[in-house]
A = this chain, B = another copy of it.
Amino acid sequence: MLKDALSDASRIVELAIKTALRPDGTAIPDAMMYAVKGGKTLRGFLVLEGAKLHHVDPNVAAPIAGAIEAIHAYSLVHDDLPCMDDDALRRGQPTVHRKWDEATAVLAGDALQALGFELIMYADVPDRQKIVLLHMLTLDAGARGMVGGQAMDIAAETAGTQLTLEQIEALQAKKTGALIEWAAAAGPRMTVDADEMPMRVYGRALGRAFQIADDILDVEGDAATVGKAVRKDASAGKATFVSLLGLDAAKRRAETLVEAACDALSPYGNDAETLRDAARYVITRDK
C-alpha cells in the first residue's frame, strides 16, 4: 500500500517535471531529470496523500508534488558539490557534478529551484492558495530555511565546533524539517478554509524522526543499500543525534516522534493509514 503510493508518487512527480522541461541542446534538462529520479519521493507522496485527505484531485496536486521534489533535488545537487559536502554518490548513482561537471551541477540546481516555484503556478487551485504555498516555500528554501541550515552546518564544521542537541534540532528543522512539514501541510493549503494543523504537526514530528533516522543510518547503514556514503558524521567528528543521545536513546526518540506524528492524524481516522505507514517506514527504512 505505502510502497505502491510511493512509486505512484515517483511516477506522478517525474511526469510533472518532465512536462515542464524543454530540450535546449544543453545538458541541463537531462541533469535536472536525473537529479529528480531515484529518490524515495517522500515529500511528493506527502503532498499527494494530504491532497487526497482533503479531496483535492490528484491532477491538481501533481504540480505541487513536483514542486517540492524539484526544490529537494536542487538542494541535494548543490549540497553534494565539491565546495560543500563533496559527495560522489547519491541514490546509488554518481552525483550530478561527477556525472557531468560542476558548472552543470550549479546550473541544474539553480534551474530546479526556479522550476519548483514555477510548478506551483500550474496547479489549478485558487490564487490565494498558490500564493500561500509559494510564500511558505520561498521562506523554507531561502536563507531563513534550507540555505540557512546548510550554512550553519558548514560554519560549525569549519569552526570545528560540536553542536549541542538543541542546536542540531534547530539546524535540522531548517535543513530537512521545513520541506517535509511544507509537503505535509500542502494538501490542506490547496483548499480554502481547511485546518492545516493536523498535517503540520504530523509533518513536523515526521521531519524530526526522519533526521534522527538519517543519523542512525549513517552509523548502521550499508553504503550500497543507502545509496550514498555512510560513517561520514563520525569520521568528520560531527555531533549528531546518535553521538549525543547514544544509539538506543536516539531510536527511542525517533519512535516517540513517529507515535506523535500518527496521533496528530486522529481527525482523519482510518483514511490516514497510509500516512501512518509512512511515519513508521521513515524510521525503519534502510535507505
Binding site for B on A (CB under 8 A): 21-22, 24-29, 32, 74, 78, 81, 83-84, 101-104, 106-107, 109-111, 113-115, 117-118, 121, 127-128, 130-131, 134-135, 138-139, 141-145, 147-148, 150-152, 154-155
Interchain CB contact under 8 A, A152 and B106 = no
25 residue pairs from A and B, CB less than 8 Å apart:
A22-B143, A24-B144, A24-B148, A24-B151, A24-B152, A25-B152, A28-B147, A32-B143, A74-B110, A78-B106, A81-B102, A83-B102, A83-B103, A106-B106, A107-B150, A110-B113, A114-B141, A115-B143, A117-B134, A118-B135, A121-B131, A121-B135, A127-B130, A130-B131, A131-B131
Known: A110-B113, A134-B117. A152 touches B103 (CB 8 A): no
Nearest chain B CB to A106 CB, angstrom units: 6
Interchain CB contact under 8 A, A26 and B152 = yes
Residue among A21, A83, A114 with the highest chain B CB neighbour number at 10 A: A114
Interchain CB contact under 8 A, A127 and B121 = no
Interchain CB contact under 8 A, A115 and B142 = yes
- Additional A-B contacts beyond A28-B148, A84-B106 (8; CB < 8 A): A78-B106, A83-B103, A104-B151, A107-B154, A110-B141, A127-B130, A127-B131, A134-B134
| Nearest 3 pairs of A and B residues by beta carbon | A114-B142, A83-B102, A118-B138
What is the CA–CA distance of A176 and B111 in the complex, to the nearest angstrom?
Answer: 16
What is the CA–CA distance of A25 and B171 in the complex, to the nearest angstrom?
Answer: 12
Nearest chain B CB to A51 CB, angstrom units: 20
Known: A110-B78, A127-B131. A155 touches B115 (CB 8 A): no
Nearest chain B CB to A16 CB, angstrom units: 14
- Which B residues lie within 8 Å of A145 (CB)? 114
Interchain CB contact under 8 A, A117 and B138 = yes
Look across to chain B and name the residue whose beta carbon is closest to the beta carbon of A174: B24
Look across to chain B and name the residue whose beta carbon is closest to the beta carbon of A29: B143
What is the CA–CA distance of A110 and B138 in the complex, to the nearest angstrom?
Answer: 11
Nearest chain B CB to A74 CB, angstrom units: 8
Interchain CB contact under 8 A, B113 and A144 = no
What is the CA–CA distance of A84 and B106 in the complex, to the nearest angstrom?
Answer: 9
- Which B residues lie within 8 Å of A26 (CB)? 148, 151-152, 155
Residue among A103, A127, A141 with the highest chain B CB neighbour number at 10 A: A103
Q: Which of B22, B24, B111, B147 contacts A114 (CB 8 A)?
A: B147
- Which B residues lie within 8 Å of A83 (CB)? 101-103, 106
